[in-house]
A and B are shown apart, each in its own frame.
Chain A
Amino acid sequence: MSAQAPVPARSSHAQRAMRFVLPVIVFATGLLAWELVVRVREIPPYVLPAPSVIVLTLIKDWTVLSQSLATTLATTLEGFVAASIGGIALALLFNQSKWVEYSLFPYAIVLQVTPVIAIAPLLLIYLEQQTAVVVCAFIVAFFPVLSNTTLGLNSVDRNLAGLFQLYGASKPQTLRFLKLPAALPYILGGLRIAGGLSLIGAVVAEIAAGTAGAGSGLAYRIAESGYRLNIPRMFAALLLLSLAGIVIYGVLALVSHLVLRRWHESALGKEN
């Protein structure tokens, strides 16, 4: 190629646009095909509702569904905040004392590898329902925060640590001016994973609670609508859950980008 400066710039611009446009085209085509198949073959809504029916249900049942959405989002937020604070605090504790880390870290792993769907029914027996749901969200979400923060606190530049030592930095000073900023990209990465996971934890716990016939979150609506063969509402609730997940991820990614954009490689353009 005869390399003229503007050409690669324009093509990369077009490429970026395509990255946005192509998935939208695929999505629209899929929806259209779905709608057509349902209409042409006259599939009844309790087997497979058409996209248009799902949207209408969403509008019709908005009062119920929006309340459920609020409940699920509140649970997710509580679980996320608990997981963030708990994960970061535990990582700081581990960083201060090896003995604490050796004593507790295996249990953090045990909590992480045990499927939460199996723990949820037990929690529902011992805890009040709302508490149990939040605890589930916490259990699923705290581990990535913990492990990422631990990794970040341990990846401090050795020479910078020496510099802090040379200038007689106290432990709190080293933590505040060196370790926490150095760990920040890792912490934000952990939070980004934790956001999605706390939604999953909340949903899993709601489904477990829903089986017991109680609850008001979106996942409970899905379970309840399933029992009543109200399939369009199932889809509508699922759509809301999916949107909630996307928004949570988007918000956390944006926060991460805004915090790191001045200095961290991950938030910089490729040309640097």
Chain B
Amino acid sequence: MVERRTSSTVEASLTGLAVSLRGVTKTYDNGVMALGPFDLAVRKGEFISLLGPSGCGKSTVLRLIAELSAPSSGTVRVARHEGVPQPGQVLPGHGIGFVFQEPTLMPWASVRENVRLPLRLGGVPKAEGRARADAALASVGLADFADAFPRELSGGMKMRVSLARALVTNPDILLMDEPFAALDEITRFRLNNDLLALWRRLRKTVIFVTHSVFESVYLSQRVVVMTARPGRIEADIRIETVEPRGEEFRTSAAYSDYCRRVSAALAPSYSEQSTL
């Protein structure tokens, strides 16, 4: 296959955009085509969800944006931190924070050290790093657990630590890969609300991968529904409601209406998999 576009030939305009993917495909070494061609533009400060069946390449999109993997063809453009960093200001992760499906904490380090890790890797002095880690922990409501070890925390608290670690570098873009999938529903709803509150306060660009229709509609301004492998965009649905959202939105008629629309868009991807 001939590469149709490469990063050197296309200069995507990023005005007002945080992330832009154009004609991106990803084929793994074993020949499996996971993605594409895939086009996506995310505005700055937008909260979007990527929704699709398992194995449709949702996580691959996040890994491409985070440069943890390279596209087989097409361009991935990410708006880097604006302005010149202050002297001594380090931006590890290039302005991107990543929250994995698992909490992915270092079991041998305290909660504070886990959160401080990105700063430590970026060479931020210890005292400043500890202060910023404590502030990030406070923002997710875990100020009292800085000295605990990950094993002493519940699943929901571990996920909060993981979120604090992603926020500690003050990134512009937050990538979240099914972060609450392993949690019970009550904890999940609470973390959904906390995440929305955090987003309203910090106005980060959030790209949230999930396979829950309800979660995607509840959280995001836009739900991007993906097809089964290789992942392409099936539908791009804008969720408009009275902000700020709260529990009353979860029970509103508009909410169930949106859920129905998103489910309908998702249905074809699952019927293709009916042999499973």
- Cα–Cα distance between A168 and B121 once the two chains are bound (Å): 7
Please report the total number of B residues contacting A with Cβ < 8 Å: 26
Whether A159 contacts B121 by the Cβ 8 Å rule is no
- Cα–Cα distance between A272 and B100 once the two chains are bound (Å): 24
CB of B96 within 8 A of chain A?
A: yes
Name B46-90 residues within 8 Å CB distance of A. Answer: 63, 66-68
Beyond A162-B68, A177-B120, A263-B108, is A168–B93 a contact (Cβ under 8 Å)? yes
Select one of B67, B98, B106 contacting A181, CB under 8 A: B106
Whether B122 contacts A167 by the Cβ 8 Å rule is yes
- Cα–Cα distance between A173 and B94 once the two chains are bound (Å): 18
Select one of A159, A167, A173 contacting B100, CB under 8 A: A159
**A interface majority secondary structure:** helix
Contacting residues, chain A, for B121 (C-beta < 8 A) = 164, 167-169, 173, 177
- Cα–Cα distance between A163 and B102 once the two chains are bound (Å): 12
Whether A163 contacts B100 by the Cβ 8 Å rule is yes
Contacting residues, chain B, for A177 (C-beta < 8 A) = 106, 117, 120-121
Closest to A163 in B: B104
CB of B36 within 8 A of chain A?
A: no
Contacting residues, chain B, for A178 (C-beta < 8 A) = 106
Contacting residues, chain A, for B92 (C-beta < 8 A) = 167-168
Closest to B93 in A: A167
Closest to A259 in B: B108
Whether A166 contacts B106 by the Cβ 8 Å rule is no
Smallest beta-carbon distance A159→chain B, Å? 4
- Cα–Cα distance between A153 and B122 once the two chains are bound (Å): 23
Closest to B68 in A: A162
Please report the total number of A residues contacting B with Cβ < 8 Å: 22
Name A144-161 residues within 8 Å CB distance of B. Answer: 157, 159-160
CB of A60 within 8 A of chain B?
A: no
Contacting residues, chain B, for A165 (C-beta < 8 A) = 68
CB of B107 within 8 A of chain A?
A: yes
Smallest beta-carbon distance A229→chain B, Å? 56
Interface string of A250-272 (1 = CB under 8 A from B): 00000000000011100010001
Select one of B66, B104, B117 contacting A157, CB under 8 A: B104
Closest to B92 in A: A167
Whether A167 contacts B107 by the Cβ 8 Å rule is no
Contacting residues, chain B, for A167 (C-beta < 8 A) = 92-93, 117-118, 121-122, 169
CB of B190 within 8 A of chain A?
A: no
CB of A55 within 8 A of chain B?
A: no
- Cα–Cα distance between A272 and B107 once the two chains are bound (Å): 14
- Cα–Cα distance between A218 and B92 once the two chains are bound (Å): 58
Given contacts A162-B98, A163-B104, A168-B121, 11 further A-B contacts (CB under 8 A): A157-B104, A159-B100, A159-B104, A163-B98, A163-B117, A166-B96, A168-B94, A173-B121, A178-B106, A181-B109, A184-B108
CB<8 Å pairs between A and B, sample of 26:
A159-B101, A160-B104, A162-B100, A163-B98, A163-B104, A163-B117, A164-B121, A166-B67, A166-B68, A166-B98, A167-B92, A167-B117, A168-B92, A168-B94, A169-B121, A173-B121, A177-B117, A177-B121, A181-B106, A181-B109, A262-B108, A262-B149, A263-B108, A263-B150, A263-B151, A264-B108
The interface of chain B, by Cβ under 8 A from chain A, is 63, 66-68, 92-94, 96, 98, 100-102, 104, 106-109, 117-118, 120-122, 149-151, 169
The interface of chain A, by Cβ under 8 A from chain B, is 157, 159-160, 162-169, 173, 177-178, 181-182, 184, 262-264, 268, 272
The 8 A-B residue pairs whose C-beta atoms are closest, nearest first, are A159-B104, A167-B92, A167-B121, A181-B108, A167-B118, A159-B100, A263-B107, A169-B121
